Structure 1
């Protein structure tokens, strides 16, 4: 009997030793694996905390005009911008030991594990805030053991590399609160129409209960469940000594006002402009689409909401609903190139093609100011005369003859000045000037003014037969409007990442590229299209809208068979308007031809309301004199029409007009003294 007992003890001892050794080995392996996991987590370093966030687009006054729309509303805010009540309520109900554990609440894990074993399924969670944050950042939300293991690993990495404050801030900015609202800020705005930092205790307690199950505890789905959850959270806050029990009843009885509307709905404000801004973010700032749409960027733009609304409403009101005419409009501040309004078509929903930026159309006579500026640089003046008559140009190099025509085949059949030729849009004068300067001069000048489309060195280039973009023409005219400084179209002034760090800031400077004197003289010539004193064999091209404008503008209209333009400016604003058919169909109706001018005039007048009427600043080196607009000579008292005209100093006319002397048939020579005769000499001559 004793022998058998000893054998049993020896056998049991062997088992105990084996179990002990195996346990030691298991423990060692566990410690080794754990150490390996920790070491691997340390080697990998901090996991990226980037989460999908809405990118916001702002107007020039800081108003949100749009946001990326991916079905999620998420706006990152710092922890100190979140109500302490919401922070306390969240910790109290989700993870009361948050500040004391290292990512895992082992007591809760054991309890959940027992419940799962009993149910033979994953039925209960014990996730800490750190674990939930890891899941929100990197993992799907299915209840599987694989996901839990990955969640634990990411949790370890978070706890090893980030502070509790950073983890809590990230969690509160990523947790889902239902109805498409991710994070405390988006949820606060949706449910209560206020910032997360402004939440009261009652609001915070209700909001903290929603992530448990948005479909169950959202007040919009069940007010009863929401109030019950709110009460539970307030009670846990008392238990955790975060509030006093007297505050519970006050919070429960608080009258809550629910909004149920996101702060920034998907807006239709300036849709063509917003598309262009996104394109710039991709092509010029080299941001990929994911960053643009989900990176939580703050994009500050140049758009002026008032001017944008005026532009859109003007197009809608003035173009007949029955017409198939399309339009493109760009308004720009000439001082810095800031785009203030953009219309890319009559309906973005019907056609997102942006005719203000993408379309290349023939500019017609709106190219002439660039031609005549080049002529001023080569010695021409507003008084330079050439003959306007039906002309056929023949070339020695084998090129075919070229016979341009004026509108309605009307000609002066005599000399006209460059100032009048511009105002009347005389094509013969333009082609003669173009050929005199050299056919490459206008193409070179167009590049100087910022036009990027290819220009053909042909006689018809003077009449705008090479295509351009609306936005580039607005920019080119801005250079004249600001006195000769090169500006490029600017639509983005600053871009910040989701943390508020500036990743781009516009620093484009205006660079002088034109002679201020010549730019001013050219600008003054362009005011002539609205001045009836320059009427000649036909009316000035702006005559149909003279009565619609109330201040000084400079501008030029242009017409081809398929395109109608009006571009003009004040010292404060440039706008360019194109109208035509998308497929290049000929514009035949007179009403269709007038759209561009009417839209331009109405937009400019409405956009300038309330602004002071400014004149173009005269630079040094220019001089103004009264001339007879018919011949460009100095006007006398006998001239029936006199127009004050500016010249680069030293190029002003020195010869008086003698076309209207009442008693002398002889005209004084150029050598005669340029001075007005006193009355007594006139009497002596008589």
Structure 2
């Protein structure tokens, strides 16, 4: 008797046949798709193995000031002229199955996916040498799936049209080894002063570790990390049987003679400026290293080549050749924030550390204008009087003491005005003001001026004991120079790709952040450092360079035991100078203490030589009154000195000076006004 299959079994068989058919259809489509990709890749032929386009940097007047290294300048060498140890070290650490796969290491990809899943983060890479090389060649800005698929397609084209040694050769000649060394020959010359074919096992294993993180594993910037990675590479070479354990041990102990200098130095303009531009392209505009170096970008900068030349010449002629003093210098247009000149050190070839942008140094008394702006906001005026005398301040309920000292321990031992205190750089007056306003006030005001470096809430902050950057201080003074409009240091105005498409365009944003009346009053106070009319118990701080001035400047100098500063401005140019030792040691020679001021005035005078003399525009609501600097009251005919001083209308003094009565034939001129210039807080000042 024949058994009839149940409907359930029939249904199952039908589903199985349909599933099998669907699987075969999908498999056929997949095979056709893969075949199509391979055929298309073959039709397109081999992709180029070099990228010859340099990225160009332009000054504000359109001149080329520098260019990145391109393919033709990377000292391309044949694989036969590369150390075998370097090749084996690179394969061992980057792609140990390089000769066994066809561009993609499936096993490695799977392992990476599992590791990432376990860590819930991307912790392991799976790119082969072929993929990395394709990525170096395929230059686009977007980080999308489209780009990843395109890179994969490039990898297929590479593997189909070139043999493994050609791919390896291209990879080793284009990879980034840090310190502007691209390709193994440039790296060998830079780090060890020899050709790639002459590298020892120890040297090769050090270099092979750099591409993973050029800023992290460079033996120049971090020798210990470089050695740690070298050990990992040597053990990988042992595992892959390229070397023995004995050879690995000897290589690890090998003494390395690192040169750290390029064999062929390209003459460039403003190298510290260009380094800053490159850093901003990467950090602010999110353009990666290989596009910056090989993408054919056109980068338009704010550099004024004439001012840059003047700055470099002035530094060279002012600082003694035998001095170890270093410098940080920056100049900018206060209206736009465009950085027009930058010097980050005495010799770029000896030190690439940018002291104008990177270094945090104590600003000394150059912080005082920010303090006195805050004081003006709180009701102080240029003629607010306080005593300048040796003073010990007690705080924290009497548990702590602080005793500031004036330069050379000179004091007025009597009342002086805020205008004179600024011109003479009186420290006691500054600390009294700081404590009266509240120690948080200066911190908040510094942020208002665009300074965001950490500041300690201590009495000595009024004397500039918390580190700041030169570029930030120059920017802060630019707010005073432009009437209180917010600006920020601008280095790049436009970036275009190699096809002329605009990738970035600077757009100015004008915002009034300071009171224009108070800003003008403070500007006029800051001209006092050059005015001998404000001489008192000592000379004004700008007396030594005042005879070199051909126009009106506002500024402030500052010093600590190890720092010397000068920052100043006109309506069309702001510049700041820091000089000191990298090690922070004490500046002992008098001549060394004068470098900052002399560099500043020489730069300003030469830069503005052919420009019209501009004065600060007085806003409405500001009045001028002739003041006797000694008394801080309205000057009379008896007063030996009278200086025109500016006030916000309604805050100017109304008392006439009575200190010099008897010297004038017109006694009626000394009659006091019935009004008294005694703000409520003046009584509190007497407590100090």
Compute the TM-score of the two structures, normalised by the length of structure 1: 0.64
Q: Which runs of 5+ in 1 are unaligned?
A: 1-31, 75-133, 139-145, 153-264, 675-686
Q: Which residue of 2 aligns with 1:66?
A: 66
Alignment match, 2:355: 355
Match of 1:231? none
Secondary structure at the aligned position of 2:391 is classed as coil
Deviates more, 1:32-41 or 1:526-535: 32-41
Q: How does 1:35-114 map to 2 (within 5 A)?
A: 37-38=35-36, 51-72=51-72
Equivalent residue for 1:6?
Answer: none
* Structure 2 alignment gaps of length 5 or more: 1-29, 75-133, 139-155, 163-264, 678-688
Could you tell me which residue of structure 1 aligns to residue 442 of structure 2?
442
For residues 549 and 397 of structure 2, the distance between their equivalents in structure 1, rounded to whole angstroms, comes to: 48
Pairwise CA distance, 1:294: 0.6
- The alpha carbon displacement at 1:658 in A equals 1.4
> Following superposition of structure 1 onto structure 2, how do residues 521-540 of structure 1 map, counting pairs within 5 Å?
521-540=521-540
User: What are the Cα deviations for residues 416-444 of structure 1, in whole angstroms up to 9, with x where unaligned?
Assistant: 00000000000010000000000110011
Cα distance in 1 for partners of 2:669, 2:605 equals 48
Distance 2:31 2:443 in 1: 73
Query: Which secondary structure does the structure 2 equivalent of 1:345 belong to?
Result: coil
1:559 aligned residue: 559
Partner of 2:406: 406
Structure 1 pair 34/341, CA: closer, same or farther in 2 (3 Å)? same
Q: Distance in 1 between matches of 2:439 and 2:73?
A: 57
Q: 1:523-555, CA deviations, whole angstroms, 9 ceiling, x for partnerless residues?
A: 110000010000000000000000111101000
C-alpha contact 1:475 1:488 (8 A) present in aligned 2: yes
Q: Which residue of 2 aligns with 1:507?
A: 507
1:310 is paired with a residue whose SS is: helix
Deviation at 1:508, TM superposition (A): 3.1
**Which structure has the larger Rg over C-alpha atoms?**
1
- Aligned 1:85-164 pairs, distance under 5 A: 150-151=160-161
Question: Does the 8 Å contact 1:336/1:510 carry over to 2?
Answer: no
User: After the TM superposition, which residues 467-506 of structure 1 pair with which residues of structure 2 at under 5 Å, given as runs?
Assistant: 467-506=467-506
Residue 375, structure 1, aligned to residue 365, structure 2: no
Q: 3-state SS of the aligned residue for 1:485? A: coil
In 2, the alpha carbon distance for the partners of 1:274 and 1:394 equals 48
**Structure 1 residues 374, 46: CA separation in 2 closer, same or farther (over 3 Å shift)?**
farther
- 8 Å contact 1:54–1:68 — kept in the other structure? yes
CA contact (8 A) 1:497 1:503 kept: yes
TM-score by length of 2: 0.64
CA distance in 2, matches of 1:413, 1:498: 68
Query: Would you say the 8 A contact 1:53–1:73 is kept in 2?
Result: no
Distance change >3 Å, CA 633–CA 344, structure 1 → 2: same
Taking the aligned partners of 1:421 and 1:46, their CA distance within structure 2 comes to: 77
- What is aligned with 2:322? 322
Map 1:571-650 → 2, pairs under 5 A:
571-650=571-650
**Range that drifts further, 278-287 or 398-407:** 398-407
CA–CA separation in structure 1 for the residues paired with 2:268 and 2:536 = 47
Correspondence list, 1:260-409, <5 A? 266-409=266-409
Residues 332, 340 of structure 1: 8 Å contact kept: yes
3-state SS, counterpart of residue 493 of structure 1 = strand
Q: 1:673 to 1:553 in 2, by over 3 A?
A: closer
Alpha-carbon distance, 1:150 to partner? 3.0
TM-aligned CA deviation for residue 278 of structure 1: 0.5
What displacement does 1:381 show? Answer: 0.3
Is contact 1:389-1:412 (8 Å) kept? Answer: yes
Q: Any residues of structure 2 matched to 1:239-278 within 5 Å, and which?
A: 266-278=266-278
Q: Displacement, 1:363?
A: 0.3
Residues 53 and 70, structure 2, Cα contact 8 Å, conserved in 1: no
Cα distance between partner residues in 2 of 1:289 and 1:39 = 30
Match of 2:460 in 1: 460
Match of 2:674 in 1: 671
Q: Secondary structure at the match of 1:324?
A: coil
SS at match of 1:574: strand
CA shift digits 1:280-323 (9 cap, x unpaired):
01100111101110111000000000000000010001000111
Tell me what 2:249 maps to: none
Change (3 A) 1:35 1:542: closer
Distance 1:673 1:406 in 2: 31
State the Cα deviation string for residues 466-490 of structure 1 (Å, max 9, x = none): 0100000000000000000110000
Q: Structure 1 residues 366, 35: closer, same or farther in 2, change over 3 A? A: closer
1:69, 1:266 within 8 Å by CA — same for their partners in 2?
no
SS at match of 1:60: coil
String of CA shifts for 1:354-407, please: whole Å, max 9, x gaps. Answer: 000011000000000000000000000001000111111112524421110000
Secondary structure class of the residue paired with 1:279: helix
Separation of aligned partners in 2, 1:622 and 1:430? 24
Task: Give the secondary structure class of the aligned counterpart of 2:647.
Answer: strand
RMSD (Å), alpha carbons: 3.0
1:235-292 alpha-carbon deviations (Å, 9 max, x no partner): xxxxxxxxxxxxxxxxxxxxxxxxxxxxxx9332100000000000110011110111
Whole-angstrom distance in 1 between the partners of 2:631 and 2:384: 9
Q: Secondary structure at the match of 1:387?
A: strand
2:401 is paired with a residue whose SS is: coil
Please give the alpha-carbon distance, in whole angstroms, between the structure 1 residues aligned to 2:662 and 2:447. 50
Tell whether the 8 Å contact from 1:555 to 1:567 is kept in structure 2 after alignment: yes
Cα distance, 1:42 vs structure 2: 6.5
Q: 1:395 to 1:42 in 2, by over 3 A?
A: same
